[in-house]
C-alpha cells in the first residue's frame, strides 16, 4: 500500500468527517442548550439534499445552478425547522426525556414518508458544478475536488460557529444557557426565543450539509438512517455541547471509517459503535465535555 493512496484515503475520511461535523454540530448545540436529542436531525439533512436537487433541476441549464440551490435549500430547511420548533418541540420543553425523544423519532417517520411522497422512490442525481468536476492534484495525488470543497465548508462553519459563540453577545447567551438555563432566564433573557433561535440555527446547518451532500453521490431514501446514528456517536465521543469536541470526534469517526474500509470493510461501522461504547463507559460526558450534566 503506497503513501499516495493513504493520503487520498485520509482526505476522503476528512471530508466524510466534516460532513458528519456539519450534522453533529447542530445536534450537539441543540442538545446542549435545549436538552433535546433531535432524532430527526439527519432526516432534515436529507430534506436539504432533496430540496437542493429540485432547485438545481429547475435551474440546471445555468452554470450557477448548484451555487444558488445550496443556500436556498439550506434556508428552506431552516424554515421547516422553525415550523417544527414552534408547532411541536415548543410543546414538550417541560416534558421528560423519553417523550421528547419519541416526538423527534415520530418526526423521522413522518418526514421520511413526506420525502417519499414528494420526491418518489427513484434516486436523484445532481450534476457537480463545472468548477468542482475535475480532480485537484495535491502533492501529485489526484483528489476529488468536491471533497476539498466539503472540507472547506466544514472548517468555515466551524470557525463561523466558534466566532458566533465566543465573540458575539448572542453567542455568549447561548453558551450561558448551556451551563444554566435558570440563571439566563433570571437575567431577563427570554429562554424560548433562545431555544427557537438555536434550533433553527442547528437545522439550518443540517440543511446546508444536506444540500452540499447532494452532488456527492446519488440522493436516496433512507440515507438519513445510517447518518443519524453516526452523528449520535460523534456527539457522544466529542461531548454534548462542545464545539471543538464535535469537530475532533467528527474527524476521528471519519478517519476511523475511511481506514477501516481499507483494512476491515465489514467492521467499519461496528468499530465506530465500539468506540462510542468505550467513551460512554469510560467518560460518558465525552472527550471534551464537562461532567456537570451527566
Partner 1 sequence: MSAKKLAWAGAVFAALLAMPLVLGEFWVLVLTEILILGLFAVSFNMIFGYMGQLSFGHAAFYGVGAYTTGLMMVKAGVPLGLCLPASMIMAGLVALVLGYFCIRLTGIYFAILTMAFGQLIFYIIFQWYGFTGGDNGLQGIRPPALLDGPWSYYYFTLLVVTAGVIVMWIISESPFGYTMRAIRDNPQRTRFVGVNTKKYMLINFVVAAMFAGLAGGLWGPFNRSLAPDLCNWHQSGVPVFMTIIGGPTGFLGPLIGSVIYTFLMAFVTGFTEYWPLTIGIVITLVVLFLPGGVWGLVERYGAALPAREGPPPEGEGGAS
Q: What is the longest distance spanned by two Cα atoms in the chain?
A: 61
Among 46, 66, 108, 184, the residue binding partner 1 under the rule CB under 8 A is 108
CA nearest 108: which of 197, 43, 183, 202?
A: 43
Applying CB under 8 A, the span of 63-71, 106-114, 212-220, 254-262 interacting with partner 1 comes to 106-114
Our CB check for partner 1 shows the closer of 97 and 131 to be: 97
Among 59, 86, 110, 261, the residue binding partner 1 under the rule CB under 8 A is 110
Total of residues contacting partner 1 (CB under 8 A): 41
86: contact with partner 1 by CB under 8 A: no
Alpha-carbon distance of 239 to 245, in angstroms, equals: 6
What are the two backbone dihedrals, phi and then psi, of residue 20, each rounded to the nearest 5 degrees? Answer: -65, -40
Alpha-carbon distance of 10 to 29, in angstroms, equals: 27
Dihedral of alpha carbons 161, 163, 166, 168, sign: negative
DSSP result, 43-56: HHHHHHHHHHHHHH
44: contact with partner 1 by CB under 8 A: no
Applying CB under 8 A, the span of 93-101, 146-154, 192-200, 244-252 interacting with partner 1 comes to 93-101
Alpha-carbon distance of 72 to 65, in angstroms, equals: 11
287: contact with partner 1 by CB under 8 A: no
75: contact with partner 1 by CB under 8 A: no
User: Per-residue x/- mask for partner 1, residues 224 to 253, rule CB under 8 A?
Assistant: -x---x--xx--x-----------------
Among 5, 58, 102, 133, the residue binding partner 1 under the rule CB under 8 A is 102
List CB contacts of 213: < 8 A, sequence separation 6 or more: 19, 45, 48, 49, 219
Residues near partner 1, by CB under 8 A: 31, 37, 88, 91-92, 95-99, 101-103, 105-110, 112-114, 116-117, 225, 229, 232-233, 236, 266-267, 269-270, 273-274, 276-277, 280-281, 284, 294
Amino acid at each position: 500500500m503506497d503513501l499516495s493512496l493513504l493520503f487520498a484515503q485520509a482526505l476522503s475520511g476528512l471530508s466524510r468527517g466534516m460532513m458528519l461535523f456539519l450534522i453533529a454540530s447542530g445536534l450537539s448545540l441543540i442538545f446542549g442548550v435545549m436538552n433535546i436529542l433531535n432524532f430527526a436531525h439527519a432526516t432534515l439533512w436529507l430534506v436539504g439534499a432533496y430540496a437542493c436537487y429540485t432547485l438545481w433541476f429547475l435551474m440546471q441549464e445555468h452554470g450557477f445552478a448548484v451555487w444558488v440551490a445550496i443556500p436556498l435549500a439550506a434556508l428552506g430547511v431552516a424554515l421547516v425547522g422553525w415550523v417544527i420548533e414552534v408547532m411541536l418541540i415548543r410543546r414538550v420543553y417541560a416534558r421528560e426525556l423519553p417523550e421528547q425523544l419519541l416526538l423527534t423519532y415520530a418526526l423521522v417517520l413522518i418526514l421520511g414518508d413526506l420525502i417519499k411522497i414528494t420526491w418518489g422512490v427513484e434516486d436523484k442525481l445532481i450534476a457537480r458544478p463545472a468548477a468542482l468536476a475535475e480532480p485537484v492534484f495535491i502533492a501529485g495525488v489526484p483528489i476529488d475536488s468536491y471533497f476539498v470543497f466539503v472540507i472547506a465548508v466544514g472548517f468555515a462553519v466551524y470557525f463561523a460557529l466558534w466566532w458566533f459563540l465566543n465573540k458575539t453577545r448572542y453567542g455568549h447567551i447561548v453558551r450561558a444557557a448551556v451551563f444554566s438555563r435558570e440563571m439566563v432566564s433570571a437575567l431577563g433573557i427570554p429562554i424560548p426565543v433562545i431555544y427557537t433561535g438555536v434550533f433553527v440555527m442547528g437545522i439550518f446547518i443540517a440543511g446546508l450539509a444536506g444540500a452540499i451532500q447532494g452532488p456527492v453521490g446519488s440522493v436516496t431514501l433512507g440515507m438519513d438512517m445510517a447518518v443519524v446514528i453516526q452523528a449520535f456517536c460523534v456527539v457522544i465521543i466529542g461531548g454534548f455541547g462542545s464545539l471543538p469536541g464535535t469537530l475532533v470526534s467528527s474527524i476521528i469517526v471519519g478517519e476511523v471509517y475511511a481506514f477501516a474500509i481499507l483494512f476491515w470493510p465489514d467492521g467499519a461501522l461496528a468499530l465506530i459503535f465500539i468506540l462510542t461504547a468505550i467513551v460512554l463507559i469510560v467518560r460518558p460526558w465525552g472527550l471534551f465535555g464537562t461532567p456537570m450534566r451527566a
